[in-house]
Structure 1
Amino acid sequence: MKGLECRFFSIKKSIPKNIKILAVSKNQNISSIEKLYQIGHRDFGENYVQEMIKKYQKLPKDIHWHMIGGIQKNKLKYIVPFIHLIHSVQNIEHLQIINKEAFKHNRVIKCLLQIKICNEKNKTGITNQEADNIMNNDIYHHMKNVKIIGLMGMASLHGSTQKIKQEFYSLKKLYNEYQRKYQHHILSMGMSNDYPIAIEYGSTHIRLGTSLFGKRKLP
């Protein structure tokens, strides 16, 4: 068994069985994705619609594709027919577009709200209050083809361990509240540099790129 497969099983062995690994395949070639597919992995995350569509067209159709990058409103319609989970919803308009397109395909699209839990400028997301406003919005409540089932967040890339713990704790606290109020059941937090801490703070889905694939390589 070679490097990629070994890294996958090593990580999988080191974490609780109930934690789902999302392989972040952004800028990875088809063969790398196929290697993980051949050993049974099915969940892959992409940042860009165009790249996801190209891979979807070339790879087996039982792969679960996750959109983890910023939402491009004019391109949502292209992924709605097959997307498994959208991690990066930030406003009602996103939900309205998803709901409209999902209706055309007789699907209910599952989504997460992306919460901003750190102060880094390149990290996007909404505040807890903005999330409350979405969850309590009558417009959302009348949507039949989209469902918010959890939260996603990204901790500081260069923060101290204590800072990262505080950021994950803040998201877990909101998740616990939404779990009680709205039956949320997915908490997507933790990447290659901080996933052990994320798991400690209750993550259900970790998003791993570099720790699995190594440095990114273009197709």
Structure 2
Amino acid sequence: MSIESQLSAVRRSLPEGVTLVAVSKTHPAEAIREAYDAGQRIFGESRPQELREKYEALPRDIEWHMIGHLQTNKVKYIAPFVALIHSVDSARLAEAIQKEAAKCGRVIDILLEIHVAREETKSGWAFDELEAWIATSPFAALPDVRVRGVMGIATNTDDEAVVRRDFEELRRCFERLKPHFGPAFDTLSMGMSHDYPLAVACGATMVRVGTLIFGERDYSAAQH
């Protein structure tokens, strides 16, 4: 199956109003170009330097999303051009994004990553800590950061009930935070290749699909 046909199949499966982020991390620029030529414009990457290299090499109308864990000292690599940072999981990171956004003279859109999975290895805010932090009005001090919504990753399990519970929890978090941020807070990013239909059923407005479009990643290349 070609990237174009795989992409088309995923697109057909999504209802209107759900945005597809094609997860291109570890895949070469040529693969991204094939999806681009098939009409895809939003791509997700997880390593700042790789993202920067692809930004330089590919058409400028691509909307690049940072979906992986982001270290504060790496924000500078992507701040001038990134369209959305999904993985904001700490106050320190939000403050680092503010600093780099101000340097670039632009407002950077972010999602707040919330930890709902049953694995401790997954990153993200504990919801009560996030809510307590937001209650102190920290975003008033971050004028160049715009909070667009919430992101999360479900527990890695074949038990659909557990995955559904995680997605429903993310939806509840999204609804509870919405009054703090107003109309721009419109994005619930959840669901990947193996579980995105369930995420959509639970209210996702954005899904992150890689393997179904590009095939399995080359893990030998991914180690370097």
Q: TM-score range by the shorter chain?
A: over 0.9
Q: Structure 2: which amino acid aligns with 1:204? A: T
Q: Which runs of 4+ in 1 moved over 4 A?
A: none
Q: CA deviation at 1:166?
A: 0.6
Matching of residue 78 in structure 1 with residue 113 in structure 2 = no
Matching of residue 212 in structure 1 with residue 218 in structure 2 = no
Alignment of 1:125-144 (within 5 A): 125-144=124-143
**SS of residue in 1 equivalent to 2:56:** helix
Q: CA deviation at 1:189?
A: 0.1
Q: CA deviation at 1:138?
A: 3.4
Counterparts of 2:127 and 2:207 in 1: how far apart (Å)?
A: 21
**SS of residue in 2 equivalent to 1:94:** helix
Q: CA deviation at 1:129?
A: 1.0
**SS of residue in 2 equivalent to 1:207:** strand
Contact 2:101 2:107 in 1 (8 A): yes
Alignment of 1:16-55 (within 5 A): 16-55=15-54
Deviates more, 1:84-93 or 1:191-200: 84-93
Counterparts of 2:61 and 2:132 in 1: how far apart (Å)?
A: 35
Alignment of 1:1-219 (within 5 A): 3-183=2-182, 184-217=185-218, 218=221
| Matched residues, number | 218
Contact 1:91 1:134 in 2 (8 A): no
CA RMSD of aligned residues (A): 1.4
Q: CA deviation at 1:182?
A: 2.0
Q: CA deviation at 1:118?
A: 0.9
- Output the TM-score relative to the length of structure 1: 0.95
Contact 1:92 1:140 in 2 (8 A): no
Which ranges of structure 1 fall in alignment gaps of 5 or more residues?
A: none
Counterparts of 2:180 and 2:5 in 1: how far apart (Å)?
A: 40
Counterparts of 1:46 and 1:17 in 2: how far apart (Å)?
A: 24
Counterparts of 2:133 and 2:158 in 1: how far apart (Å)?
A: 29
Which ranges of structure 2 fall in alignment gaps of 5 or more residues?
A: none
Contact 2:20 2:208 in 1 (8 A): yes
Q: Structure 1: which amino acid aligns with 2:212? A: S
Counterparts of 1:130 and 1:148 in 2: how far apart (Å)?
A: 17
Q: Structure 1: which amino acid aligns with 2:134? A: M
Deviates more, 1:177-186 or 1:77-86: 177-186
Q: CA deviation at 1:159?
A: 4.0
